[in-house]
Amino acid sequence: MSGHRTLDDMGDIAGKRVLVREDLNVPMDGATVTDDTRLRAAAPTVAELADRGAIVLVLAHFGRPKGEKRADMSLAQVTRPFSDVLGRDVAFIGDCAGDEAAAAVARLAPGDIAVLENTRFHAGEEKNDPALVAAMAKLGDLYVNDAFSAAHRAHASTEGLAHVLPSFAGRSMEAELAALETALGKPEHPVAAVVGGAKVSSKLDVLTHLVTRVDHLIIGGGMANTFLAARGVDVGKSLCEHDLAATAESILDAADRANCTVHLPYDVVVAREFRANPPTRTVNVHEVAADEMILDIGPAATEALADVLKNCRTLVWNGPLGAFETPPFDTATVSLARTAAALTREGSIVSVAGGGDTVAALNQAGAAGDFSFVSTAGGAFLEWMEGKELPGVKALER
Ligand code: ADP
Ligand code: MG
């Protein structure tokens, strides 16, 4: 993380054309942005560059047009909402490369902001095509990457440009990298990781990497069932990947060798039907009936996990502990999230969380605001938890 130049290293940028890669891929319902988190994350860098007199050219993708121009995936529709979030005028330019775009850029004045059309309208974007990289680079003098959430992809606008223009990390990228470094780069020990969610198969690399990095690995959600089954527990009709028993065993062995304590629940909340507020039972994991499903970890396990967190200095969290969308199976997730939030407020832990459903669950618990850092990057956050080098980040390194 040490090797990135930031906006502080750009010097005098008055009158310079700065290409800024942002994540503007917001969910929309008609003309309305239903969650503007990403627009708010992009705003500080764009505003700072404009205030410093740059001509700010925002690059971003929107949806998956796969190299085709599609009106329903035009960034024109995000320009107005972004302008509202910024509280400034934002122009729209109908291409991110080419002569027409160049002519439109030439009409902008220092301090102006423009959103350029969806980079993925060009097939070369996802191919990281040097010809597209060169064409985009012609529009700017400097490059800023502020989209951590797109940094796990080596695309023209997320990786290629960093090789041909002087490149810098934006404020949002900088904050994200600093938080991740604090949590898993050089964390204060003991470190606890909570890994939940539906399936072990989707997070195998995460688990394998984490056992070598953390002191406590807390496994919840559907994936705990796979581990319990591997240990001979009858999990009834629970979501469970029985074919991954050997893999689960090898992760437990690796944890053992690395002195990482793995925490599996010893009580669970079960139901016969998966719907809101069905009849439930709270039982020891050895008492699950053949026709029951484990849908949350139990109160005794949750309390024990709270005690684990109380003795840790760092927490990294991905994946809910239960089927949190369906009440009352959000109970353990909400409770442990609130414990983590309180410990963070007291200054006793640094807490970092990420993942689409995780963020939703933390919001549901009213805990997200108290975490030290909540990453909105889904795929990039997971790849970082897997210990992978993100191409968009690596390209910024000097
Ligand atoms: P994230 O998006 O934060 O990475 P995941 O997508 O891996 O998280 O997992 C979230 C999903 O896991 C949720 O939809 C949740 O309902 C589901 N889940 C958690 N626990 C269980 C369980 N015991 N049984 C079935 N589904 C579960
Ligand atoms: Mg998810």
CA 335 – ligand 1 centroid, Å:
16
Ligand 1: atom nearest CA of 356 is 2
pTM of the model: 0.88
Nearest ligand 1 atom, CA 199: 7
Spell out which residues have Cβ within 5 A of ligand 2, the ion.
Answer: 356-357
Question: What does the alpha-carbon distance between residue 190 and residue 348 come to, in Å, rounded to a whole number?
Answer: 11
pLDDT at residue 43, rounded to an integer: 98
Ligand nearest to the CA of 318: 1
Question: Closest Cα partner for 90 from 118, 62, 54, 116?
Answer: 116
Q: What are phi and psi of 198, to 5 degrees?
A: -80, -50
User: Atom of ligand 1 at shortest distance to CA of 326?
Assistant: 16
Indicate which residue's Cα is closest to atom 22 of ligand 1. Answer: 222
Q: How far away, in angstroms, is 318 Cα from ligand 2 center?
A: 9
Residue 230, Cβ neighbours under 10 Å: how many? 22
Q: Helices (DSSP H) in 221-298: which residue ranges?
A: 221-230, 245-257
Distance from the alpha carbon of residue 159 to the mean position of ligand 1, in angstroms: 31
Residue 34 — φ and ψ, nearest 5°? -85, -20
Q: Whose CA is nearest to atom 15 of ligand 1?
A: 323
Task: Identify the residues whose C-beta falls under 6 Å from ligand 1.
Answer: 196-198, 202, 221-222, 239, 294-295, 318-320, 322-325, 355-358
CA 221 to ligand 1: nearest atom: 20
Exposure string of 7-25, with b = 16+ CB inside 10 Å and e = fewer, is: beebeebeebbbbbbbbbb
CA dist., res. 380 & res. 177, Å (int): 11
For a substitution probing ligand 1, which of 238, 357, 382 has the most ligand atoms within 8 Å of its CB? 357
Please tell me the distance between residue 15's alpha carbon and the centre of ligand 2 in angstroms.
42
Task: Name the residue at shortest CA distance from atom 4 of ligand 1.
Answer: 355
> 357 C-alpha vs ligand 2 centroid, how far in Å?
5
- pLDDT of the residue at 2: 54
- Please list the rounded mean pLDDT of every run of 10 residues in the chain (398 residues): 84 98 94 91 98 98 96 97 98 98 98 98 98 98 97 97 98 93 90 94 91 96 96 97 96 97 98 98 98 98 98 96 98 98 97 92 96 88 88 91
Residues tagged active-site: 38, 199, 356, 379
- Nearest to 194, CA basis, from 280, 96, 285, 312: 312
Atom of ligand 1 nearest to the CA of 294: 23
Output the residue whose Cα is nearest ligand 1's atom 8.
319
Query: What is the model's pLDDT at position 235?
Result: 98
Residue pair 85/39 in contact by the 8 Å Cβ criterion: yes
Q: Say how many Å lie between the CA of residue 295 and the centre of ligand 2.
A: 16
Residues 6+ apart with CB under 8 A from 371: 340, 341, 344, 351, 352, 353, 362
